[in-house]
Structures are given as C-alpha cells and as structure tokens.
Amino acid sequence: MSKVFVNIGLSLDGYMAPEGMTMGNPGYKNWGAKWGALMAWLVHQQSFRDNHKLGPGGETGPVNDLVRSTTERIGANIMGKRMFDQGEVAWPEEAPFHTPVYVLTNTKRGPWVRPGGTTFFFISDGPERALELAQESAGSRDVRIAGGADVIQQYLNLGVVDELEIALAPVFFGDGRRLFENLREPGPRFRIDQVLDGPAATHLRYVRES
C-alpha cells in the first residue's frame, strides 16, 4: 500500500526556510547562504546530480543511496502555492520532479506540463482533494508532501502522514518558517525508524505509530 511521507531539510533550530526566502529578494538577511548551508549535503550527492543532469563527480555511499531510494519511491508530489511560485522562476525547463505535482492554491489555473514527465495541477478544493488525486496518480508508489511548512502542517493535522524524513543540518537560521507550528492537540505519534549519520547532516526517519 502506498504511503504519504514528508522529506525535507531542517535547520538545527527547527526552520525549514530562512526569513524572507524569495527569488525576488535574494540578498535579504543573507537567506541564500543560509539555504545553501542547509542543503549542502544534498547537492553533492551523485543521485541528486543525476536527477538534475549535473553530470558525474558526486558522492556515493549510504547518503547517496538514501537520496536515490527516496527519489525512486515518489509517484506524486504535493506542494503549496508559495513553494511553487518560487520554483516556477528558479527551476530549469525540465522541472526536477518527473511526477505529477499537485499545488494547493486559491487560484484557478490549467495544468502546466513540463518536459521530463512533470505536470503541475492546481487544486483549489483543499488538501484532502489534492491528496486523493495524488494517490490516484501515484498508484503503488508513494506521495511526497514537499512543502512548505504550512502545507506539511495541514497534512499532519489531517493525520495522514505515514513517515517523516528529516535531514537535520548543523546550521542556525534564527528566524524563518518553522516546521512544527500550528499543530493540533493531540499531535500525531511517531517512532524512530532510522538514523543515518552524514558529514553534513543527520538523516532521521520517523514512522507513524498505528
């Protein structure tokens, strides 16, 4: 049976994104350097380089294997409009998802088809409907809740997230968008499933308790 999972990078003080992270304001509070430090572990992995057509020269090993297996399990992605808006101006023409992507939004818009198998669908009927469509298109593969933080919080509050995969990097943002805010009581319960130490991040997997 397919699963719903979150796979994100997180700063040591609990932020998914630094304050003011927008493509239109690249110098604000040095957010670009903060984001780069958070995701440095990922961009050096060969699987990431392969997915983004960056060529050879990346790292191999357990962390790279984790990146590859995560990419291979995804049958559909869900994200918020804020994340899409930033990515629309930053992603290459061949967007790096290669799956259907369901964007939560209040704006009506037709599907946006990109080369390489990515199609963005804009869903204004709420997170439950987006998940239903994502699961239908993913089939036996899994659905990734890509972000941002508010979208992940919505799905945690719905109680549908089966796994949390968090790459915890030893960087501090000080402010920004926290991952674990606005959660209802009682919150979901998870158990530790895997811990993988890397030189630039600790990779944690939590599985929801049944």
Mean pLDDT of 161-182: 94
- Reported as a single tens digit per residue, the pLDDT across 96-126 is 899 999 999 999 999 999 999 999 999 999 9
- Reported as a single tens digit per residue, the pLDDT across 52-85 is 877 888 899 999 999 999 999 999 999 999 999 8
**pLDDT for position 10:** 97
pLDDT greater than 80 at residue 47:
yes
Q: Tell me, what CATH number does 10's domain have? A: 3.40.430.10
Q: Is pLDDT larger for residue 25 or for residue 177?
A: 177
pLDDT greater than 80 at residue 26:
no
pLDDT greater than 90 at residue 24:
no
- Flag whether the pTM goes above 0.95: no
pLDDT greater than 80 at residue 30:
no
Q: How many domains does the chain have?
A: 1
**CA–CA dist 209, 203 (Å, integer):** 19
pLDDT greater than 70 at residue 27:
no
Residues 6+ apart with CB under 8 A from 8: 16, 146, 147, 152, 165, 166, 167, 179
Rama region for 141: left / alpha / beta (φ>0; ψ in -120 to 50; rest): beta
Q: Is pLDDT larger for residue 110 or for residue 188?
A: 110
Mean pLDDT of 196-200: 93
Domain span holding position 118:
4-208
pLDDT greater than 70 at residue 5:
yes
pLDDT greater than 80 at residue 21:
no
pLDDT greater than 70 at residue 203:
yes
